[in-house]
């Protein structure tokens, strides 16, 4: 019975389309009493087993204020073990997608707006570069908004612990940080002019919203 379940589980992982940035689940985490059904919960202590960790370095440049495109380096740690998984991006909001590092991965390749991986060990690592259209200007307020996520480690309707770290650099001569949501991640934020560091361990689905006020409002700047 255990062998039958293992084969079935791996088949599901191999064929499951990821709607989160990344998903990988180990068999020992499938116990019903460990499954979060979707409510966002921030964890005070890290889980006993190292959680899937995603580290994002976001670079907002002055050109980003005109186009909405930002540069991102994204690294994933503790991905496996699993036969296959995929990192999925919005087709119209990603370009120049590149794999720059893998460890403990049998094969990795870019396929359209996705990164495909097979034969991952429990300590597998993936790092990728991309440009993402994730900065927008609110035409009513004139503010700029960067939205990250949804970050989630999902298996069907269950959500498992995930650790997200975000380093966000922005032009301090053009933008001033106004707010960070949600509140629990804001309370742990480290900020300085031109720089934001965010860190969260959670279960469920996390969306991050960072708002900036223009230092000098230039008519017509922004993108639609």
Distances (CA, A) of 113 to 34, 90, 99, 173: 32, 7, 12, 33
Residue 45 is predicted with a pLDDT of 79
Place of tokens 């990988």: 24
With a cut of 50, say whether residue 3 has pLDDT above it: no
Confidence band of 26 (pLDDT split at 50, 70, 90): very low
How high is the pLDDT of residue 221? Answer: 44
Tens-digit pLDDT profile for residues 132-142 = 999 999 888 88
**Which residue segments constitute the domains of the chain, with CATH numbers given?**
2-214 (2.60.40)
pLDDT at 154: 72
What is the predicted pLDDT for the residue at 4?
31
Q: pLDDT tens across 162-191, in order?
A: 999 999 999 999 999 999 999 999 999 999
Q: How confident is the model at residue 97 (pLDDT cuts 50, 70, 90)?
A: very high
Q: Taking all residues of the chain, what is their mean pLDDT, rounded to a whole number?
A: 81
Q: Residue 70's pLDDT is what?
A: 97
- Residue 81 clears pLDDT 80, i.e. is over it: yes
Residue 141: predicted pLDDT:
85
Non-local CB neighbours of 172 within 8 Å, separated by 6+ positions: 193, 194
Give yes or no for residue 114 having a pLDDT over 80: yes
Collapsing DSSP to helix, strand or coil, 63 comes out as coil
In the chain the first and final C-alpha atoms are separated, in Å, by 55
186 phi, psi to nearest 5 deg: -65, -40
| pLDDT tops 80 at residue 14 | no
């Amino acid at each position: 019975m255990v062998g039958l379940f293992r084969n079935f589980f791996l088949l599901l992982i191999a064929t499951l389309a990821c709607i989160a940035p990344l998903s990988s689940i180990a068999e020992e985490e499938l116990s019903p009493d460990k499954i979060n059904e979707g409510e966002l919960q921030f964890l005070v202590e890290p889980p006993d087993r190292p959680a899937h960790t995603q580290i994002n370095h976001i670079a907002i440049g002055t050109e980003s204020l005109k186009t909405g495109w930002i540069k991102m380096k994204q690294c994933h740690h503790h991905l496996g073990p699993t036969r296959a998984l995929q990192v999925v991006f919005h087709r119209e909001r990603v370009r120049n997608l590149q794999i720059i590092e893998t460890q403990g991965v049998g094969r990795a390749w870019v396929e359209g707006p996705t990164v495909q991986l097979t034969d991952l060990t429990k300590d597998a690592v993936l790092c990728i570069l991309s440009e993402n259209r994730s900065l927008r200007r609110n035409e009513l307020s004139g503010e700029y908004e960067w939205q990250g996520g949804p970050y989630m480690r999902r298996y069907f309707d269950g959500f498992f612990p995930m650790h997200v770290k975000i380093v966000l650099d922005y032009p301090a001569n053009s933008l001033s940080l106004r707010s960070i949501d949600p509140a629990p991640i804001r309370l742990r934020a480290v900020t300085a002019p031109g720089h934001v560091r965010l860190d969260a361990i959670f279960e469920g689905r996390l969306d991050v919203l960072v708002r900036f006020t223009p230092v000098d409002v230039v008519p017509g700047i922004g993108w639609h």
